[in-house]
Amino acid sequence: MSGLPDTLGIRPGARLAVVEPPPGLAEALAPLPAQVALLPLTEPGLDVILFFTKDAKHLVSRMPALVRAMALSGRLWVVWRPDATPALDEVLVRQAGLEMGLVDDRRADVLPEWKGLRLRWRSRPRLERPSPRA
């Protein structure tokens, strides 16, 4: 597997949602790996969500629905145009994710004029087992 699906972590059998895609995305994603299910955002347990946004207000208003749709091991790509007005940047996207309990773990150029930041659920530290009593 190579190309944009590989960069975005879209694996065979993945449950994928694409929200407000720009023209040309379908061609850039083709061919998708085997058995990828393209689903609406209303489906829970999505492995990969590609969310294309134009500004911070749009991002913040959609974050709760995006987060509800993510699987525990899922990834949310927030994708924006750096030349958008009003400006949207990596810092704003990261902050929006942190406020929802997500952390970023990867950046990518998704399309020639679109940047993306991948968010995932924050890992929780494992609890230590109590030591056995002697």
- Do the domain assignments include residue 131? no
The alpha-carbon radius of gyration of the chain (Å, integer) is 16
| Residue 125: band (very low, low, confident or very high) from pLDDT cuts 50, 70, 90 | low
Q: How many domains does the chain have?
A: 1
**Nearest CA-CA partner of 10 in 53, 49, 65:** 49
What is the residue range of 104's domain?
A: 4-121
- Do the domain assignments include residue 30? yes
Omega before 31 cis (within 30°)? yes
- 119 pairs with which residues across the strands? 76, 104
- DSSP string over 65-112: HHHHHEEEEEEEEEEE-TT-SS---HHHHHHHHHHTTEEEEEEEEEET
10-59 pLDDT, tens digit per residue, is 999 999 999 999 999 999 999 999 999 999 999 999 999 999 998 889 99
Quick one: pLDDT at residue 1? 47
Look up the CATH number of the domain holding residue 117: 3.40.50.150
- Do the domain assignments include residue 26? yes
- Do the domain assignments include residue 70? yes
| Secondary structure class of 63 (helix, strand, coil) | helix
